[in-house]
Chains A and B, each alone.
Chain A
Amino acid sequence: MKKLLNRVAVLAIAGTVSMGAQATTPEEDRNAFNKLYKWRFSGVPMEEFVNGAYAIDPIGRENWEAIEEFPPYEPFIDEGEVMWETPFANGKGYKDCFPDGPAIAGNYPHWDKEQGMVMTLPLALNQCREANGEKPLKYKKGSITNIVAYTAFQSRGQVTNVVIPDDDPRALAAYENGRKFYFTRRGQLNFSCSTCHLQNTGMKVRTEILSPTLGQTTHWPTYRSKWGTVGTLHRRFTGCNKNIRAKPFKAQGEQYRNLEYFLTYMSNGLELNGPGARK
């Protein structure tokens, strides 16, 4: 009964999720996603999904493996290490905000009860900067990718384990809003995230194979050949929305943070392997 009441409270808070929505738990959602991908790509082991389209595209994989021999994201990791080790103007540094060290990517995204919002790694890094009198970094490209690349590299091998706490219905509401975003059609092409990355995974859009949702959050930041540099997950969200001719939302705004919360939960159990390299 308590669970049911919680659910009703969450749906009311979520607002945009109608009361007619199918009431499923996050774990049920994740199992349904897993079941679908297992059925569609029966020969692909679950742990392979961290490699995105290269888990299901043998030719693309050959190219990618060749690229990974001399990873294009390495200089960004090195720059990030310098940032991590360099104190701010007030003498403190990232180390003071994150005393457990740079291997912290596995802790994000998480529900921040105090702030009542989904906390992501780039946002936490910027909050650290601002608390120490430094200007926040831009969220899509530039220096932010260096420090995130360094923390991601140090966090390799950690297992995605997003938790939706029971003691704050706003956390589940944020998850629900992220899920709603994922299934909402938008833009002139009238596509949702699920249109490409769930319904048509493995199919081609022009020459590109559409990657599965599972594993999409494990390898950020990513060096994309198209960008010629490393970019953040929210930069990729922006690109996706532009591709379907929808006006993108603000990087690290509520919509994208909730989407990240949902997507990362779907990848629970998969290893972090960032930074990544993609076409």
Chain B
Amino acid sequence: MQVNRLYSVLLVTALLGGGVGTTLAADAKAADPKVVEVQKMIDGAEKARKKAASVDSEWRDTGKFIKQAQAALKAGDYDKAMKLARKAEDEGNLGYQQGVSQQELHLPSYLKY
């Protein structure tokens, strides 16, 4: 009976210890200024993507680059994540500019009425 209680105590301690350890590790990673910086870049890319989509002018791969950037960040490959986020943000901004530039319909001059 006492042995069982001892096992229970040990098990709970081990679980709590593991949990605390994991939480601490995650917190440490989240607090890493590099992670914060990269996440900020990814958020910026997502904002740019949405802006392009708001004028029906999102490009094909922008969303894919953002997903890949998020995966690279999770894997700790910060350089790759930053590169992808930058690329996605550029695409989002260019897509938006393109959409705005196309708001007016201009029929081509070779089409003769």
Residues of A within 8 A of B (CB): 16-18, 20-22, 24, 28, 31-33, 35-36, 179-180, 183-188, 190, 194, 198-199, 241-242, 245-249, 255
B39 within 8 A of A: no
Known contacts A186-B57, A255-B56; A247 and B104 CB within 8 A of each other: no
Known contacts A32-B113, A36-B112, A255-B56; A245 and B105 CB within 8 A of each other: no
Closest Cβ–Cβ distance, residue B10 to chain A (whole Å): 54
Q: What is the total number of residues of chain B having a CB less than 8 Å from a CB of chain A? A: 24
Q: Which residues of A contact B60 (CB under 8 A)?
A: 187-188, 241-242, 245-248
Q: Which residue of the partner chain, among A32, A185, A241, A247, contacts B112 with CB atoms under 8 Å?
A: A32
- Is B107's CB under 8 angstroms from A22's CB? yes
- Is A187's CB under 8 angstroms from B108's CB? no
Contact with A along B78-96 (1 / 0, CB 8 A): 0000000000000100100
Specify the chain B residue showing the minimal Cβ separation from A182.
Answer: B105
- Is A33's CB under 8 angstroms from B111's CB? yes
In the bound assembly, the distance between CA atoms of A183 and B61 in angstroms comes to 22
A-B contacts, 27 listed (Cβ < 8 Å): A16-B56, A16-B103, A18-B103, A18-B104, A28-B113, A32-B111, A32-B112, A35-B112, A36-B110, A36-B111, A36-B112, A180-B105, A183-B107, A183-B108, A184-B102, A185-B98, A186-B56, A187-B60, A188-B94, A190-B98, A198-B111, A199-B108, A241-B60, A242-B60, A246-B58, A246-B59, A248-B60
